Chain A
Amino acid sequence: MPEPSTVHKHKLANGLNIHLKEIHTAPIISHWVWYRVGSRNEVPGKTGLSHWVEHMQFKGTPGFPASTLDKAISREGGVWNAFTYLDWTTYFETMPADKIELGLRLEVDRMNNSLFSAEEVEAERTVIISEREGSENEPLFKLSEAVQAASFNSHPYRNEIIGDLADLRSITRDDLYGYYRQNYSPSNALLCMAGDFNAAEMLHRIEDLYSAIPSGEIPPLDVQEEQHLGEERRISIKGHGETTYLLLAYRAPRASSADFFTFSVLDSLLCGPSSLNMFGGGGISNKTSILYQKLVDTGLATGISGGLQATVDPYLYEITATINPNHSLEEILAVIDTEIEKLQSHKVREEDIHRAIKQARALFAYGSENITNQAFWLGYAEMFATYDWFEKYLENLEKTTPADIQKLAERYLARGSRVIGSYLPRKGKGAK
């Protein structure tokens, strides 16, 4: 087992942060550019801007016209993609090591020179609406969107990242281009790279490419974080099909809070371990988690999962259950409440915490096989904390005590401070 290689960190005069990690196990480089902009930056009436700008970043610059970008990457045997999230937007290319120059030139070019032609904007409007319609086909998307909206009073986290349909119909080319110019600049970006290169040479090349780009000014963001709901809100959606879903949402701590690590252990115990890997690695089954045993093993539900997201501001901890049609939603809710009450009134065993930490360690090992995933890790934690958050993740999990879990459950999983969302099959004609 080789020693973990050093992460070289630099900051250019124009504010661009750079993280480089040499990995020489395969002739591959994965290159990422992260921007601190996501749906958290959006205002009512303009939801979906971040995601749409991400799409427009594939629509060409004077140097790389729209139709040439995908082909150029594919021709070199590379893969590329982009993701928009609550707090960030990121672009990556994983390429044969000797072809990475193309990825470098594409990213520096589209930080500053994307065209946003009116024609491309209109064509992409229907593509994005089509993407949203594909999601709307899923009952859990509809339920999640409604629960998310009910979980915040005004914080932008209440909006689906893809945006509201009415906004997607009304957003203009100028809205998109203005948003791009405002948020895409070196001072709002982080460039990360892992793979088969020499860090000193690569840094020199990155400096050559980026140094001339003006820093850019990032306007301060006026977002008020929201604490616990302080009440129980219930929402219900009816739709086609035969399957009932329950989605519970509690306020979760921001990722940079010490509570977040304790929450990760609690989630692992309650619903099963979650992975920080975006690429590869796979997950671990959750069949010995508390709620699987109490809900699925007993036949009350046919599936259970937990979801904790690493975010800048406090977001949500979600528990999703797929209900066995022979049982009621209230039965499942009662069991979940009973199990949460146990966590609030009794300390869990030390050995259960150790088990959760071993699972997290295994998931880290699985994720380290993959260079694309290692490059992802270099930037991910910086979007809501610092890279240190990632490096000390296991160490922080290990600090968790049974008393911490108990206090956390009391503080965050209160019955009177949550959203209870349900998706119920519509009865009658055409319900099937």
Chain B
Amino acid sequence: MKGLQNGDIKSLPGPDDIGRSELPNGITLLSRSNFNSPSVVMSGYFNAGSIFDTNEKLGLGYYTAVSVMRGTQDHTFHQIYDRLESVGAGLGFSASTLTGAFSGRSLCEDLPLILATLSECLRNPVFPPQEVERLRAQFMTGLAIRAQDTSAMAALKFDELIFRDHPFARPEDGYPETISTISPQDLMDFHKKHYGPRGMVIVLVGAISHPEAVDLAQTALGDWQNQDQEALPSISPVKPLEEEIREHIPLPGKSQTDLIMGVLGPRRASPDYFAASLGNSVLGQFGMMGRIGDVVREQAGLAYHASTSLNAGVEIGTWEVTAGVNPKNLDRAIDLIYAELNRFIGEPVTEEELADSKSNYIGRLPLSMESNAGVAGALINLERFQLGLDYYRRYPSLVNAVSVEQVLETARTYLHPEKMIVVSSGPPLIKKRVKK
């Protein structure tokens, strides 16, 4: 088995060059220095996602996150962006089901500015009604565009069918009818209950030392407290699927149909994770999109893209096949994918296939961290999934420990072709599909 040389492993983030500190108010700060470029990347998250939204006001957490930069007690929307854009810096907020998130970058001399802006947006947003209305118009346009996007509509329906009554079934950016009910007061209330330092993580990567990073973070956010901050609710497991469900979302006027086929997959912390991930590589990633890409794109020429993804989160995971096909080829593509899935759970992958994917996983690791943003993402993952500061140094041995038998066993645990969600979105189907 090929592997990283000792020197290459040392170039990866590890306990000797990642700084990790906990501020007294509960904020965790990770940093890694890179003085080769005069810039700094910042990213992070906090416990204020759409999981706190009611069904009637779905999108509230996302709306709140995007609104915090629309005006604070000290600066208007225009002043906030004028300060940032004048120095070529950037800062933005978003939200997913579990967390709110932020990311920014600047020249290192301007890092105090983006940290100060982060602080005032997190702590003192005022949600000016006029700005809230402008954002609403932008959201509504975004949702109208989403309604015409075959890929997005297939993904929405897939989540709805696979997660059903679970919080992950709902889109964090809501629906037009829920966004239209959200008021500035709702945003203020959400902010008051859910924005706080507890559980917040900040990552800084670039031309800065860890002690400097701690000082700057402490200055910006060290005295932040919120006694009202609610804890994340416990999350119930998702019920397994009992049968295949097929649905098609018709969108007239489209040329291509987007297809998603999938099942529930392992969580990131699951002992099955590495076997599932390497198996997924063989199935639909390695080379030109693995076995699925080979059959659907290379041999049959049915699609420009046809691949698989393992989406392992903190609480849940999915294992999905996606493809974009000509509408008349939809059934054929589904049949080819099913055949490959049955082969994948019917017999072990070859030793050569597994060795190729292992080699790819280990070899590409330095490439994924060639930029500050890449390293910041890697540090976020360390903290989000509690992987340990030595994780990237241990990574080659974790990958190499997986056997073909484990890949097969894991595939059989999760991939049940007779119990899959099969969703497509594109032109209306000419012949009526069977809906079970």
Interface size on A, residues (CB 8 A): 81
Please name all residues of chain A whose beta carbon is closer than 8 Å to the beta carbon of B39 when the two chains form the complex.
362, 365-366, 369
Q: Does B137 sit at the interface, judged by CB under 8 A?
A: yes
Q: Is the CB of A137 within 8 A of B254?
A: yes
Task: Bits for A254-293, please: 1 = Cβ < 8 Å to B, else 0.
Answer: 0000000000000000001100000011111111100001
Q: Does A94 sit at the interface, judged by CB under 8 A?
A: yes
For window 225-246 of A, CB contacts with B under 8 Å fall at 239-243
Q: Does B245 sit at the interface, judged by CB under 8 A?
A: no
Q: Is the CB of B373 within 8 A of A359?
A: no
Q: Is the CB of A26 within 8 A of B326?
A: no
Please name all residues of chain A whose beta carbon is closer than 8 Å to the beta carbon of B134 when the two chains form the complex.
296-297, 299
Given contacts A2-B36, A124-B301, A430-B252, A28 and B148 within 8 Å (CB-CB): no
Please name all residues of chain B whose beta carbon is closer than 8 Å to the beta carbon of A371 when the two chains form the complex.
370
Q: Does B237 sit at the interface, judged by CB under 8 A?
A: no
Q: Is the CB of B359 within 8 A of A75?
A: yes
Q: Is the CB of B107 within 8 A of A362?
A: yes
Please name all residues of chain A whose beta carbon is closer than 8 Å to the beta carbon of B287 when the two chains form the complex.
67, 70-71, 73-74
Q: Is the CB of B145 within 8 A of A241?
A: yes
- Kindly identify which residue among A243, A302, A324, A370 contacts B370, using a CB–CB cutoff of 8 Å: A370
Please name all residues of chain A whose beta carbon is closer than 8 Å to the beta carbon of B363 when the two chains form the complex.
75-78, 95-96, 99
Q: Does A131 sit at the interface, judged by CB under 8 A?
A: yes
Q: Is the CB of A134 within 8 A of B256?
A: yes
Q: Is the CB of A241 within 8 A of B147?
A: yes
Q: Is the CB of A283 within 8 A of B90?
A: yes
Provide the bound-state CA to CA distance between A299 and B130, in Å: 10
Q: Does B308 sit at the interface, judged by CB under 8 A?
A: no
- Kindly identify which residue among B36, B302, B361 contacts A130, using a CB–CB cutoff of 8 Å: B302
Kindly provide the distance from the CB of B88 to the nearest chain A CB, expressed in whole angstroms.
3
Given contacts A137-B254, A284-B88, A369-B36, A28 and B288 within 8 Å (CB-CB): no
- Kindly identify which residue among B106, B254, B324, B371 contacts A370, using a CB–CB cutoff of 8 Å: B371
Please name all residues of chain B whose beta carbon is closer than 8 Å to the beta carbon of A2 when the two chains form the complex.
36
Q: Does A419 sit at the interface, judged by CB under 8 A?
A: no
Provide the bound-state CA to CA distance between A122 and B207, in Å: 51
Q: Is the CB of A358 within 8 A of B88?
A: yes
Please name all residues of chain B whose beta carbon is closer than 8 Å to the beta carbon of A427 when the two chains form the complex.
none
Main secondary structure of the interface of A (DSSP, over half): mixed
Q: Does B303 sit at the interface, judged by CB under 8 A?
A: yes
Q: Which partner residue on chain B sits nearest A70 by CB separation?
A: B287
Q: Does A411 sit at the interface, judged by CB under 8 A?
A: no
Provide the bound-state CA to CA distance between A122 and B299, in Å: 11
Please name all residues of chain B whose beta carbon is closer than 8 Å to the beta carbon of A78 when the two chains form the complex.
363-364, 367
Task: Bits for A121-155, please: 1 = Cβ < 8 Å to B, else 0.
Answer: 01111111111111011010000000000000000
For window 1-15 of A, CB contacts with B under 8 Å fall at 1-2
Q: Does B8 sit at the interface, judged by CB under 8 A?
A: yes
Count A/B pairs, Cβ under 8 Å. Answer: 221
Provide the bound-state CA to CA distance between A67 and B356, in Å: 14
Choose among B77, B299, B370 the residue with the greatest number of A CB atoms under 10 Å from its CB.
B370
Q: Is the CB of A77 within 8 A of B364?
A: yes
Provide the bound-state CA to CA distance between A355 and B84, in Å: 11
Provide the bound-state CA to CA distance between A325 and B90, in Å: 29
Please name all residues of chain B whose beta carbon is closer than 8 Å to the beta carbon of A432 when the two chains form the complex.
147
Please name all residues of chain B whose beta carbon is closer than 8 Å to the beta carbon of A71 when the two chains form the complex.
286-287, 356
Given contacts A126-B302, A363-B88, A243 and B366 within 8 Å (CB-CB): no
Please name all residues of chain A whose beta carbon is closer than 8 Å to the beta carbon of B92 when the two chains form the complex.
285
Please name all residues of chain B whose beta carbon is closer than 8 Å to the beta carbon of A129 when the two chains form the complex.
326
Q: Is the CB of B326 within 8 A of A130?
A: yes
Provide the bound-state CA to CA distance between A355 and B238, in Å: 51
Q: Does A25 sit at the interface, judged by CB under 8 A?
A: yes
Q: Is the CB of B373 within 8 A of A302?
A: no
Q: Is the CB of B304 within 8 A of A282?
A: no
Task: Bits for B72-92, please: 1 = Cβ < 8 Å to A, else 0.
Answer: 000001100110111111101
Provide the bound-state CA to CA distance between A124 and B86, in Å: 47
Kindly provide the distance from the CB of A231 to the nearest chain B CB, expressed in whole angstroms.
31
- Kindly identify which residue among B2, B5, B88, B371 contacts A280, using a CB–CB cutoff of 8 Å: B371
Q: Is the CB of A240 within 8 A of B253?
A: yes
Q: Is the CB of A96 within 8 A of B8?
A: yes
- Kindly identify which residue among B35, B255, B371, B374 contacts A133, using a CB–CB cutoff of 8 Å: B255
Please name all residues of chain B whose beta carbon is closer than 8 Å to the beta carbon of A79 when the two chains form the complex.
364, 367
Please name all residues of chain B whose beta carbon is closer than 8 Å to the beta carbon of A280 when the two chains form the complex.
371, 373-374
Q: Which partner residue on chain A sits nearest B143 by CB separation?
A: A242
Provide the bound-state CA to CA distance between A78 and B107, in Å: 30
Q: Does A303 sit at the interface, judged by CB under 8 A?
A: yes
Q: Is the CB of B148 within 8 A of A240?
A: yes
Q: Does B360 sit at the interface, judged by CB under 8 A?
A: yes
Choose among B87, B88, B356, B362 the residue with the greatest number of A CB atoms under 10 Å from its CB.
B88
Q: Which partner residue on chain A sits nearest B373 by CB separation?
A: A280
Please name all residues of chain A whose beta carbon is closer than 8 Å to the beta carbon of B77 when the two chains form the complex.
287
Given contacts A96-B363, A136-B256, A282 and B373 within 8 Å (CB-CB): yes
Q: Does A61 sit at the interface, judged by CB under 8 A?
A: no
Q: Does B270 sit at the interface, judged by CB under 8 A?
A: no
Given contacts A27-B7, A136-B255, A288 and B356 within 8 Å (CB-CB): no
Please name all residues of chain A whose beta carbon is closer than 8 Å to the beta carbon of B294 when the two chains form the complex.
67
Given contacts A125-B301, A137-B254, A368-B37, A76 and B359 within 8 Å (CB-CB): yes
Q: Does A406 sit at the interface, judged by CB under 8 A?
A: no
Kindly provide the distance from the CB of B298 to the nearest chain A CB, expressed in whole angstroms.
7
Q: Is the CB of B148 within 8 A of A288?
A: no
Q: Is the CB of A243 within 8 A of B145?
A: yes
Kindly provide the distance from the CB of B282 to the nearest chain A CB, expressed in whole angstroms.
11
Given contacts A139-B148, A283-B90, A239 and B288 within 8 Å (CB-CB): no
Q: Which partner residue on chain B sits nearest A358 by CB separation?
A: B88
Provide the bound-state CA to CA distance between A353 and B150, in Å: 42
Q: Does B38 sit at the interface, judged by CB under 8 A?
A: yes
Provide the bound-state CA to CA distance between A174 and B106, in Å: 51
Q: Which partner residue on chain B sits nearest A239 by CB separation?
A: B253
Q: Is the CB of B141 within 8 A of A322?
A: yes
Please name all residues of chain B whose beta carbon is closer than 8 Å to the beta carbon of A296 when the two chains form the complex.
134, 138
Please name all residues of chain A whose beta carbon is closer than 8 Å to the beta carbon of B255 when the two chains form the complex.
132-134, 136-137
Choose among B150, B287, B303, B365 the residue with the greatest number of A CB atoms under 10 Å from its CB.
B287
Provide the bound-state CA to CA distance between A324 and B207, in Å: 42
Given contacts A74-B356, A133-B255, A324 and B141 within 8 Å (CB-CB): yes
Provide the bound-state CA to CA distance between A349 and B369, in Å: 41
- Kindly identify which residue among B86, B105, B325, B370 contacts A355, using a CB–CB cutoff of 8 Å: B86
Q: Is the CB of B81 within 8 A of A241?
A: no
Q: Does B94 sit at the interface, judged by CB under 8 A?
A: no
Q: Does A350 sit at the interface, judged by CB under 8 A?
A: no
Q: Does A331 sit at the interface, judged by CB under 8 A?
A: no
Provide the bound-state CA to CA distance between A133 and B359, in Å: 35
Please name all residues of chain B whose beta carbon is closer than 8 Å to the beta carbon of A95 when the two chains form the complex.
363, 367
Q: Is the CB of A1 within 8 A of B370?
A: no
Q: Is the CB of A133 within 8 A of B288?
A: no
Q: Does A98 sit at the interface, judged by CB under 8 A?
A: yes
Provide the bound-state CA to CA distance between A127 and B297, in Å: 7
Q: Does B219 sit at the interface, judged by CB under 8 A?
A: no
Given contacts A137-B150, A240-B251, A98 and B141 within 8 Å (CB-CB): no
Having A2-B36, A67-B298, A134-B256, one finds 15 other A-B pairs with CB under 8 Å, namely: A26-B366, A27-B8, A71-B286, A71-B287, A95-B363, A129-B326, A131-B304, A137-B255, A243-B144, A280-B374, A286-B85, A287-B77, A299-B133, A361-B107, A362-B107
Which 5 pairs of residues, A with B, have the shortest CB-CB distance?
A77-B363, A362-B88, A70-B287, A133-B255, A123-B301
A-B contact pairs, 21 of them (CB 8 A): A67-B298, A76-B2, A77-B366, A78-B363, A79-B367, A96-B8, A99-B363, A126-B301, A127-B297, A130-B324, A136-B254, A137-B149, A240-B254, A243-B145, A284-B90, A288-B81, A288-B82, A297-B78, A325-B140, A362-B87, A368-B37
